[in-house]
Structure 1
Amino acid sequence: MKPTIALVGRPNVGKSTLFNRLTRSRDALVADQPGLTRDRHYGHGRVGSKPYLVIDTGGFEPVVDEGILFEMAKQTLQAVDEADAIVFLVDGRTGITPQDKIIANRLRRSNQPVYLVVNKAEGMRSAVATAEFHELALGEPLSISASHGDGVRELMEMVLEHFPDAEEEPKVNHPKFVIIGRPNVGKSTLVNAVLGEDRVIAFDQAGTTRDSIYIDFEREGRQYTIIDTAGVRRRGKVDEAIEKFSVIKTMQAIEDANVAVLVLDAQLDISEQDATIAGFALEAGRALVVAVNKWDNLDNHQKETIKHEIARKLGFLDFAKFHYISALERKGVADLFKSIDDAYRAAMTKLQTPKLTRILQLAVERQLPPRTGPIRPKLRYAHQGGMNPPIIVVHGNALSKIPDSYTRYLENMFRKAFQLQGTPLRVQYKSNTNPFEKEATGTKPSLLVHKGRK
């Protein structure tokens, strides 16, 4: 399981800038204004062979006891409790502040290792930038520049030093599938329906499940693990008293599973949060099955309406199998389970290189990749680069010029040829070195190239 790193500090010390640097994204808003980040923000990062999850938090104001700053502080403390390691950011330009001292005292009481990081140290000698922060007594401070990237890799190598490398191909003895969705859509009821017993608490109140629950069981002579997760609330409601739910637990359960079962409530509108939860599974590359629950109490007009809403808002899940079920009445569960098996099989299938290359050649014959200027990409052969999800590596020349639309065309060709129902499919490109590439682009070739052609 990936280690979780929390970024903590007072407002405007550069936490979101560092988050974007670590995740190689622009997911977190960044501006020269304190308090811009309020909710916890989760992302994926990697240093060498070590992947990790990183949490961006709002500015930590530990002394307030009401208002938005108090809510932000609660979010930060929740992230501290979730994390395996804490990166405490301070501002090297401003220097040490009373807030920094209060935060340091609070972090010393946590059970996780704390790394003191002096940000905004570009153009400064490290010893000068970190000198006064030894007063915080959190070990040797490390100077970085999140905006320029100086020292960031060294920081993460230090943080991840004691965590194991990621396994290239984790051994899977039997299928694991995770039940995900918003609160109170019937996830625990579905778990009980699959198991055939009241194994987990199911109650008509949002937030009954507080953590991910792993249950091993046997069905028709085959071993499985089912994972029941807490409901993922809308942003800003994840810390209500009724539900101390942690998004990170669900994300970790998704990463640990082979198949994700997204549960929707047919009696509620399909929301942005449903799409967000599905996005968690897609980002992790997990096979997906969709269970539309509470279907039995709808009339025909309501059923057609919800199907239209699903097609409009969840169209990006066109590879997944949809089932309309009643977990409470245990209707449709057997067919749902068959799709879980099919999705697992598709995610873990081995794709033969000769057939992959034949399908690639057939796809190119039917539709050539578009030209970019004088260059047309040449796709030569393909092989499998990984499973769960299936990764297909295509070799050729000038492949960086291939547009996303053509990649989707190839994905559909491979999916149909291998009948990969229920799993996302990723196509990656690896361009071969072309000694005549300069000549093709109109650049004058070197004498060495001319000699080689004679």
Structure 2
Amino acid sequence: MKPTIALVGRPNVGKSTLFNRLTKTRDALVADMPGLTRDRHYGHGKVGDRPYFVVDTGGFEPVVDEGILHEMARQTLQAVDEADAVIFIVDGRTGITPQDKIIAQRLRESQRPVWVAVNKVEGMTRGVVVADFYELGLTEPTAISASHGEGVRELISEVLERFPVDEESAEADHPKFAVIGRPNVGKSTLVNAVLGEERVIAFDQPGTTRDSVYIDFERNDRHYTIIDTAGMRRRGKIDDVIEKFSVIKTMQAVTDANVAVLVLDATQEVSDQDARLASFVLETGRALVVAINKWESADEIQRDRIKREIDRKLTFLDFAKFHYISALRGQGVGDLFKSIDQAYHAAMIKIPTPKLTRALQLMVERQQPPLSGKIRPKLRYAHQGGTNPPVVVVHGNALEQIPAVYWRYLERSFMTMFKLQGTPLRVQFKRGDNPFQEKLEEPKKQSLMERRRKVVAGKKEESRKKLAAHRAKKPLRP
């Protein structure tokens, strides 16, 4: 198994910067402010032939006993319990602090192997900087610069030496689904309900989740990745730079996922922002499942209202399944997961060309494309051009004359015939070229008589030139 390495330390000591360095990504948000990372954030790294998991944690404030900082500290301790090794990151420019001593004591109590990484030492004398941190009573401190990469490779190599080489083969592709929605609709609570544990912070405060958190898990002996994303508000409501980055990370998570789970709040109206989120998912071509959360808190009037608003504002999501759930109580989560599996299979389906062509012929027999002037487009055959979303490429003549209404008719008919529930489908037209066009454009072959005439003419011209040259060399008579 790959070893799991947790990054622990006070706020703003460079944990997320080191996480990005170890994973060779920019998955963790980085800014010069404390408390940016709040949830555990997992990533994959590799040094030579040594792969590993690395966990970015929130800033550890061990003396706080309430509020969001307490929840962050609890998440950090849980990450330590799950880890095989811990890298304790301290700030070389600030020096040792009372919080560092308390964290060191907590790590000793965890009985996990701990390495002390003294960060931000660029341009400083390393021996002098690390001297103070021997007081922590842990392993020998290692001076690093996460932002510049100095000493990072040596540190992670030293950590991995105590673990055997993972010879496990690469895992096959598996479903990824992103949980998206406006702030405070219960996304993190739903993630915890799916996982069966308090994996991410669920706090009654909008904007608790700031980063997209990727979590691998297994269900019914199958591997999945769930992505908890930050809530997306209207652009005019976003005045925090960090929140703007969170919106970008959410959009990237939707693009990276196979299925998006749009979470709505049953106690609130379906807003324009909900419709924009759904439109973005549709534009990216991702499969979609809609979860109306907090159903247990809604009264009859609110339930009737949100059903009417869904019919009115989200009519373009007729391909998706809608579930009325309670993430807090776990009601309806099992059925929601079945729809996620169904949407994933529909998004990744591979349909043979003969079946697509026969389906196309049935559609044309049922409803031919309308005339464009004196020309009627001809649809000849179809084949699949991609997955997630499924793409059907239709070949024929005069396809540029097909109107949008017939385009939509083909898309809906393909989805109905192949029972594609939960994913959009796209039809692309490709005008067929005449296979005989090249032959028609070739010069006509010359007849045998014409070739003989040319040969005779050539010989005559050659004899004439030789005779002229002979006469030119013959001396003139006196």
1:175 touches 1:258 (CA, 8 Å); kept in 2? yes
Alpha-carbon displacement from aligned partner over 1:2-40 (angstroms, at most 9, x marks no partner): 999xxxxxxxxxxxxxxxxxxxxxxxxxxxxxxxxxxxx
Counterpart-to-counterpart distance in 2, 1:433 and 1:215: 48
How far did residue 298 of structure 1 move? Answer: 2.0
Q: 1:184 to 1:241 in 2, by over 3 A?
A: farther
* Long gaps (5+) in structure 1: 5-170, 438-446
What residue number does 1:337 align with?
Answer: 337
Trace 1:203-222 onto structure 2 (pairs within 5 A): 203-222=203-222
1:397 touches 1:434 (CA, 8 Å); kept in 2? no
Trace 1:54-453 onto structure 2 (pairs within 5 A): 173-240=173-240, 243=243, 245-434=245-434
2:356 touches 2:383 (CA, 8 Å); kept in 1? yes
What residue number does 1:140 align with?
Answer: none
1:346 touches 1:423 (CA, 8 Å); kept in 2? yes
Secondary structure of the residue aligned to 2:289 is strand
Alpha-carbon displacement from aligned partner over 1:351-383 (angstroms, at most 9, x marks no partner): 111111111000000100011111110000000
How far did residue 301 of structure 1 move? Answer: 3.1
Amino acid at match of 2:412: N
Tell me the number of residue pairs that the alignment of Structure 1 and Structure 2 aligns: 276
How far did residue 246 of structure 1 move? Answer: 2.7
2:386 touches 2:392 (CA, 8 Å); kept in 1? yes
Counterpart-to-counterpart distance in 2, 1:297 and 1:184: 14
1:238 touches 1:246 (CA, 8 Å); kept in 2? no
Counterpart-to-counterpart distance in 1, 2:263 and 2:249: 17
Alpha-carbon displacement from aligned partner over 1:410-435 (angstroms, at most 9, x marks no partner): 11111111110000100000001259
How far did residue 407 of structure 1 move? Answer: 1.0
Counterpart-to-counterpart distance in 2, 1:418 and 1:376: 27
Q: 1:2 to 1:389 in 2, by over 3 A?
A: farther
1:207 touches 1:242 (CA, 8 Å); kept in 2? no
Secondary structure of the residue aligned to 1:394 is strand
Q: 1:241 to 1:369 in 2, by over 3 A?
A: closer
Counterpart-to-counterpart distance in 1, 2:264 and 2:340: 16
1:210 touches 1:244 (CA, 8 Å); kept in 2? no
How far did residue 236 of structure 1 move? Answer: 1.6
Amino acid at match of 1:174: H
Counterpart-to-counterpart distance in 2, 1:371 and 1:436: 26
How far did residue 209 of structure 1 move? Answer: 0.3
How far did residue 251 of structure 1 move? Answer: 1.0
1:2 touches 1:252 (CA, 8 Å); kept in 2? no
Secondary structure of the residue aligned to 1:207 is coil
Q: 1:378 to 1:3 in 2, by over 3 A?
A: farther
Counterpart-to-counterpart distance in 1, 2:26 and 2:388: 20
Amino acid at match of 2:304: E
Counterpart-to-counterpart distance in 2, 1:186 and 1:2: 28
Q: 1:216 to 1:367 in 2, by over 3 A?
A: same
Alpha-carbon displacement from aligned partner over 1:256-305 (angstroms, at most 9, x marks no partner): 10000000011111111001111221111100000000111223332122
1:207 touches 1:245 (CA, 8 Å); kept in 2? no
Counterpart-to-counterpart distance in 2, 1:3 and 1:412: 39
Please, what TM-score do these two structures have when normalized by structure 2?
Answer: 0.55
Q: Larger helix proportion, structure 1 or 2?
A: 2
Counterpart-to-counterpart distance in 2, 1:350 and 1:313: 32
Counterpart-to-counterpart distance in 2, 1:396 and 1:202: 54
2:201 touches 2:208 (CA, 8 Å); kept in 1? yes
1:265 touches 1:294 (CA, 8 Å); kept in 2? yes
Q: 1:448 to 1:256 in 2, by over 3 A?
A: closer
Secondary structure of the residue aligned to 2:340 is helix
2:176 touches 2:258 (CA, 8 Å); kept in 1? yes
Counterpart-to-counterpart distance in 2, 1:340 and 1:361: 31
Counterpart-to-counterpart distance in 2, 1:345 and 1:384: 15
Question: Which of structures 1 and 2 has the bigger CA Rg?
Answer: 2
Counterpart-to-counterpart distance in 2, 1:334 and 1:422: 16
1:238 touches 1:245 (CA, 8 Å); kept in 2? no
Counterpart-to-counterpart distance in 2, 1:321 and 1:422: 6
Secondary structure of the residue aligned to 1:185 is coil
How far did residue 172 of structure 1 move? Answer: 6.2
Alpha-carbon displacement from aligned partner over 1:163-205 (angstroms, at most 9, x marks no partner): xxxxxxxx96110000011111100000000000000000111
1:239 touches 1:245 (CA, 8 Å); kept in 2? no
* Misfit runs of 4+, over 6 Å: 1-4
Please, what TM-score do these two structures have when normalized by structure 1?
Answer: 0.58
How large is the RMSD of aligned CA atoms in angstroms?
2.6
Counterpart-to-counterpart distance in 1, 2:334 and 2:187: 16
1:325 touches 1:333 (CA, 8 Å); kept in 2? yes
Amino acid at match of 1:338: K
Counterpart-to-counterpart distance in 2, 1:308 and 1:272: 15
* Long gaps (5+) in structure 2: 1-23, 28-170, 445-478
What residue number does 1:145 align with?
Answer: none
Q: 1:328 to 1:366 in 2, by over 3 A?
A: same
Q: 1:371 to 1:266 in 2, by over 3 A?
A: same
2:389 touches 2:424 (CA, 8 Å); kept in 1? yes
What residue number does 2:122 align with?
Answer: none
Counterpart-to-counterpart distance in 2, 1:366 and 1:284: 31
Amino acid at match of 2:353: T
Q: 1:400 to 1:304 in 2, by over 3 A?
A: same
2:212 touches 2:246 (CA, 8 Å); kept in 1? no
2:352 touches 2:384 (CA, 8 Å); kept in 1? yes
